[in-house]
Chains A and B, each alone.
Chain A
Amino acid sequence: MTAVSDRQKLAYVNSQAADGRVNLEFETQEGMTLNMGPQHPATHGTLRIIVKLDGESVIAAEPVMGYMHRGYEKLTEVRTYPQVTTLVNRIDWLGSFANEVPFILAAEKLMEVEAPPRAQWIRTILFELSRIANISLFVGDMALHIGAMTAAFYAFRDREFVLNQIEAVTGGRFHPNFDRIGGLKDDLPKGWIADTKAAMEKIRDFCDEMDDLVTGNEIFQARTRGVGVIPADVAQQFGLSGANLRSSGVDWDLRRDQPVGLAWDQADWKVWTHPDGDSFARFWVRIQEVRESTKIVDQLLDGLPAGPIMAKVPRIIKVPEGEAWVATENPLGEMGYYVVSKGDLGPFRVKIRTASFNNVSVVPWVCRGVYVPDVVTILASLYFILGDIDR
């Protein structure tokens, strides 16, 4: 073990004391305290939830975060612009490419360059592919939390088709780091378009298969219908976004409502909403989203414009002074970057708005009065990623 300074020791003791206080508050109340996590399968890694129980029903639930805090906002201050995309890839690790795009768009906004149309279209295609890679795992994961293990295997199997396509273009299965200020690193490889169309066909089959396996399943419906209902006004008050908001009946999708230069308006697709707002609605809306994403990819591949993939940008990128905010509809919800530049090689300050942080903030509200097993289904259906919460 390396030597630690007194200051570090003090910080450690303080953090432990903060955890202890949460426990103490809970323990002074009536009832039994149950600790879930930080190592618990239902928490996707390292979220910790302290649940106060009366018999089997939950009186109060308190999420404890910070187990995956990696200090992105501070690290961006000591990186240059091309290096930042490497970092922000890893915020939402299931749909990595989608994390780069808003940051690059914000930097482009400050530099007043615009990527050529072909780059914008390929960006949109990769964005939607990462959405499929993200949500297809959710579908299997949600079924796994209800107790159906088969669906998870199918999800991992069919997810590989999309990952292969992403890898063929970018060279990385997970973290592509492919987006550049002013365009993209490379053009599409030969034969990629036909392969991707075949993969999209397989993903549509996967969605049908999941509908047969999971959505129509009686046990699944009994466990999710009417459980964890979030009304539309509560969802808006907590700042939910993405499919969690749409499943509460709010018709709101940044891809349609807020043009940022990408090619979503060139395709014909639909924003699905569900009036119920329960766990089942969140699952159902996400499956429909995968279907719509495959449609978007198919249409964009058909109409892909020719031309360059890189605009004219200087070799050493210096972003002029200014501030820019760009948000896009990421797989988990609204993700935005507020970039402040002082004209240096790297940003002066970056504020990252991620969807999962707000999505999890609704847990204490929605978990009151439910049974313990339903906590797991609610957490699974809210669908957060720890890197996206803690950053």
Chain B
Amino acid sequence: MALAKGDPVLSMHGIVKTFGGVRALDGANLEVEAGNIQGLVGQNGAGKSTLIKILAGIHRPDAGSITIRGLHCPHLTPRQVEHLGIHFIHQDRLLVPTFTVGEAMFLGAEPGIGRLPFLNRREMARQATTILRDHFDVRLAGGALISELTPAERQIVQISRALLRDPAILVFDEPTAALVRREVDRLFEIIRRLQAKGITIVYISHYLSEIESLCDQVTVLRNGVDVGHVSLKSSSTTEIVSLMLNRDIDEMFPKRAVPIGEPVLKLNEVSARGAFNEISLTLHRGEILGLTGLLGSGAKELVQSLFGLVRLHGGTIEIGSERTKVSSPPSAVSKKLALVPEDRRAHGVALQMSVRENVTLASLQRFVCFGFLQPGREKTATNELIRKLSIHTASQASPVGDLSGGNQQKVVLAKWLSRQSALYLLDEPTVGVDVGAKVEIYRLIGELAEQGAGILLLSSDLLELLGIADRILVMYRGQLAGEFNPANSTSADLLSCATGTSAVSEYVNAVSAESGR
């Protein structure tokens, strides 16, 4: 690393790449200075991953030039990239689960026993343990199996793997996708430590909070072009957001004035053992009721119990002024309840099935005539929903697994929309979704409310709750701890209530009688 801090260590200039007629990159530039942490942001489909795959030598650009550490590289190959000291930390942590930590780190460059061509497992384990301890203060046995590690530990093993190869540039591609908050902090600390050692970092993410707290410079990609190079010393994330979106942040939360109607859901002192206690609340037609709470607050279980996924032990539920019981998901569906679950891969969509099949799955009765499906009607209905939700898909017949996260989420929403439910339970509907798709999902939620549905929105994104909810309930340790009016509350209010830091539960707004402790 003969380069001084600030010298350009990597520059990609005018990169063009077309896939089957679609321009993924249209003259994108990326300039990285030595010793910096360079951010790369953009919505899904903006061309981030294509640019990175070109840098990794996986794709060959149609046009453009790449200079790495002063060396002009017209035809990058993965091997050459590695020789030039560029290493990648992928989001899916490419480690063999049945390997030990030592084996995973040294795979491809295994130490032998003396000159014999045998694996030196003891040496691999010893070195692995040492590297993890010295660089990261992590105490892991080099002989532990990868499958026994947490996602964060696997990430650290992957970083160590790169460090073994003496990297000049480390590229982190969406590294926090599977990490919890504390692990993210730890990762950032590690990245800063790597920077202090003189390693240049390229950090790709669509979480602006991460970019803001970590990066020195940010390149914003939109539609295959770099639309801005921002120094975070001098500008704020709002500037980045508007560059990414090409619109103002205020437009992110489309506000609608919807008249609040009669109650559609009433809970009277419902409890579930070990999750929540004597919760009472009312949700009206046309209302978006926000609900938030930390893990273990019972908020998630409350939503699940309404769909029959968690058993209640007391209290009553009224749906549309009728006392009822929700014992199972089918009974919930028959009562016109719809759930959009957080883990859509596990519960929301069938990835290998087509967009059309997924969209109509929950409402097949509507398309049946004499026991047979009517493909024509299915197609029309699906087309309408694809258009309405702006789902980006090649066709109705594409498998949902081919869609981006945001579009998968929209398919889940479409699935329930095609049923026209009266009550929507949305569990973290925008998790893992890029900003542009978020806006569309917000718009859609607003439309549902406009049509007179009641919406219970469980979210841990406080900005989102403040942006679109009419009321926000905060849960803390199985109790309702506060009710807020978004118009005169801040995220700090919500957060202090949810973490129990406020002395007594703060009732910023008038407390409705039934939401007491």
Q: Tell me whether A and B are bound partners.
A: no
